[in-house]
Amino acid sequence: MTGVRKTYTRRLIRGMGLLLGVMVLFIAFGEGFLRLCPASVLPADLQQGLHTKPHDFGLGHPTIGALEQPFWTGIFTGPDYTAVYHTDGHGFRNPSPWPPEADLVVVGDAVAFGYGVEDSQAWPALLAQGLAPQRVLNLGLIDAGPQQYLHVYETFESALRPRTVLVGLSLANDFEDAELFDRWWRTDGRENYRIWRAFEPMRLEHPLSLFHTLLSRHSYLFHILWSHRERVTYFRCLDGVWLHLFPDQLEAASAEAQPDQPAFHLLLQALQRLQALAQEQGAYVLVVFQPSKEETYLPLLGDTVSDLQHALQDALAQHGIAMLDLTPVFRHQAAIGARLFHTVGSYPNARGHLLIARSVLRHLTGQALTDSMSFWEQGAW
């Protein structure tokens, strides 16, 4: 009986060893195959990761989180765009050197930075052209949230003394970004925020956190097998291009856009603090709501879309913070077939940026903001 048990145990161990060896060979083969594949056949999120180099994460900053490399020339790449960008001596997207003071500064996320378009096509650059000779500086950041907009203003306002501060909000992302940055802010080490954000912080309470972190940083196969697949809806523009829309992103944001949610309070507190600082310097703050692709096009397909702005607009009005909602203008132009965003990516294209710039300019100069205007058909400023 004892001999039978020993034989069974040896066979079981050999079987488990064989199974483990097959799994290791499968993983090694899959990982090698993915690394040899052309990047174009891989998922878009993994393609973006493949193109990310260490310098793309910028420089860590103790309060802002991260800034772009100063005096840097980089390239944005996507399935339907390639755009070159340049940074100034502080890591923002402006000509160098900075003026001693600025009449207007723009703070915000990657939309304000101009992700996916050329330097001259970003809406702050177009606004500077329209307001010349007034001096406009773009202090937008990639992968940023509302607290970072505040910290950017706190860091640079004393040197620039702006008379007007524009805050570009993208609520489809800003609520989540507010919670992410708050988590980073509470960490001890405070590594480069964009690196922390890209690879997810290591959670000490989870025994497999280190293993998960290593896989997420180095394994293509891990991203293929465990990446979240979102629903995709398509909208056909007049030029025949089909835009990819992701309803799940909008639903997730709508859950956080309620006054009883922590993300809502974090965002509102950052805007209140920014407003208070600006008022101390005699500056005017205008919050600009930059609608997402899903907020713009999903209603045209008959989908019921949550209003991300309503509760926040009520709260801003109670605190006397001025705002400009560009959602109606974007939806009108989308309804007549305009393509205002990149095909797959979430960021506005050159037309979308021009629409933002013209709308903000008309608001600042006291002109009527009408939905029926063909903004980009009016040529140069």
Q: What is the pLDDT of residues 124-176, one digit of tens each?
A: 999 999 999 999 999 999 999 999 999 999 999 988 999 999 999 999 999 99
Between helices 310-318 and 262-280, what is the axis angle to 10°?
A: 40
Q: Are residues 117 and 198 in the same domain?
A: yes
Give the pLDDT confidence score for residue 137 in this predicted structure: 97
Q: In this structure, are 300 and 353 located in the same domain?
A: yes
The answer to whether the beta carbons of residues 83 and 75 sit under 8 Å apart is yes
Q: Please give the angle made by the CA atoms of 184, 114 and 243, to the nearest 5 degrees.
A: 100
pTM value? Answer: 0.82
Gyration radius (Cα) of the chain, Å:
24
- Asked whether residue 26 falls in the same domain as residue 61, the answer is no
Q: Are residues 295 and 230 in the same domain?
A: yes
Contacts of 204 (CB under 8 A, 6+ apart): none
The separation between CA 32 and the C-alpha centre of its own chain, rounded to angstroms, equals 31
9: tokens are 């145990």
**CB-CB contact of 187 with 196 (8 Å):** yes
Give me the domain span that covers residue 140: 44-378
- Give the residues of the chain that fall short of pLDDT 50: 40-41, 49-50, 201-205, 210, 371-381
Strands 233-236 and 242-245: antiparallel
Q: What is the pLDDT of residues 12-34, one digit of tens each?
A: 787 787 777 777 776 777 667 66
Q: In this structure, are 160 and 302 located in the same domain?
A: yes
Whether 19 and 88 map to the same domain: the answer is: no
Q: Is the same domain home to 205 and 69?
A: yes
> Is residue 234 within a helix (H) or strand (E), and if so which, with residue range?
strand 233-236
Tell me, yes or no, whether 32 and 48 share the same domain: no
Burial class (CB within 10 angstroms; exposed 0-12, middle 13-18, buried 19+) of 66: buried
**pLDDT of 53:** 55
- What's phi and psi for 112, nearest 5 deg? -65, -40
The Cα 380–Cα 311 span in angstroms is 37
Can you tell me which residue has the tokens 């692709």? Answer: 293
> Domain count of the chain?
2
Same domain, 169 and 246: yes
> Does residue 286 contact residue 322 with C-beta atoms inside 8 Å?
yes
Q: Are residues 21 and 90 in the same domain?
A: no
Residues 118 and 24 in one domain: no
Same domain, 209 and 295: yes
